[in-house]
């Protein structure tokens, strides 16, 4: 006995979705799906209907909107990057410290043993102290005659801040001596006038002396 096998002309059929079905399509959309998928899944619970040739679909036909995928090119990233860097730099920028700020920091110097230098007392620290690791040549950039126009009184911290301003070196306050003529000023400078100030340089066993004018403001 011979059996005749009939093969369908196409393994897929055209259907219309009657419901929104995730991963498949939206209600009213016309699709081509496999016969098995239609018969075993979509046709169940009235999820989809066959499209019959020569007849209108059961529902108005809906075309699903496909959003284009935008890929950022390397050139676009390179252009955007400087702006991001600029914004970050702007957000993190901080104002430069003032002389008063630097002076306040220098006031926190630790106590050191006394030693006599050039007729005035200076504090001596251990040789490993990085705060004293500077030389006479480092201080040459400080003007030979410096005029201070800030408000009175002028403290050692103010003068230490001047040194930081010109050299970037945080000289301890107790390494600075101020004289008015032959008189050593022990505390802050209370009056305008002409002075000299001496900076001790332990690393060179030397010192640097400059003229100092305190101008009334």
Looking at residue 194, what is its pLDDT?
95
Question: Could you give the CA distance from residue 155 to residue 148 in angstroms, rounded to a whole number?
Answer: 11
More confident residue, 160 or 107: 160
- Provide, for the chain, the percentages of residues in helix, strand and coil under a 3-state DSSP scheme, each rounded to the nearest 5: 30, 25, 45
* Mean pLDDT computed over 112-137: 55
Tell me the domains of the chain and their CATH numbers.
12-50 (3.40.5.10), 136-216 (3.10.430.100)
Under 8 Å between Cβ of 155 and 103: yes
Q: Read off the pLDDT of residues 70-117 as tens digits, 9 standing for 90 and up.
A: 665 665 555 555 555 555 555 555 666 676 677 666 665 544 434 434
Entry pTM: 0.43
Looking at residue 206, what is its pLDDT?
93
Looking at residue 111, what is its pLDDT?
42
Using 50, 70 and 90 to split pLDDT, how confident is the model at 127? very low
Reply yes or no on whether the pLDDT at 69 is more than 80.
no
């Amino acid at each position: 006995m011979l059996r005749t096998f009939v093969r369908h002309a196409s393994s897929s059929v055209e259907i219309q979705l009657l419901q929104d079905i995730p991963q498949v399509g939206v209600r009213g959309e016309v699709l081509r799906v496999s016969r098995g998928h239609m018969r075993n899944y979509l046709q169940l619970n009235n999820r989809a209907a066959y499209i019959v040739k020569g007849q209108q679909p059961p529902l108005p036909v809906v075309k699903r909107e496909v959003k284009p995928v935008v890929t950022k090119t390397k050139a676009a990233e390179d252009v955007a990057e400087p702006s991001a860097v600029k914004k970050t730099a702007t957000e993190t920028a901080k104002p430069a410290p003032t002389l008063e700020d630097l002076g306040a920091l220098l006031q926190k110097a630790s106590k050191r043993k006394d030693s006599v230098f050039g007729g005035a007392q200076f504090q001596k620290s251990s040789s490993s102290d990085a705060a004293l690791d500077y030389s006479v040549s480092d201080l040459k950039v400080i003007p030979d005659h410096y005029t201070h126009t800030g408000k009175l009184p002028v403290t050692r911290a103010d003068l230490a801040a001047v040194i930081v301003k010109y050299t970037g070196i945080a000289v301890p306050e107790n390494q600075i001596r101020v004289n008015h003529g032959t008189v050593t000023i022990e505390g802050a400078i209370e009056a305008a006038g002409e002075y000299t100030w001496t900076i001790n340089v332990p690393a060179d066993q030397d010192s640097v002396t400059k003229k100092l004018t305190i101008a009334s403001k």
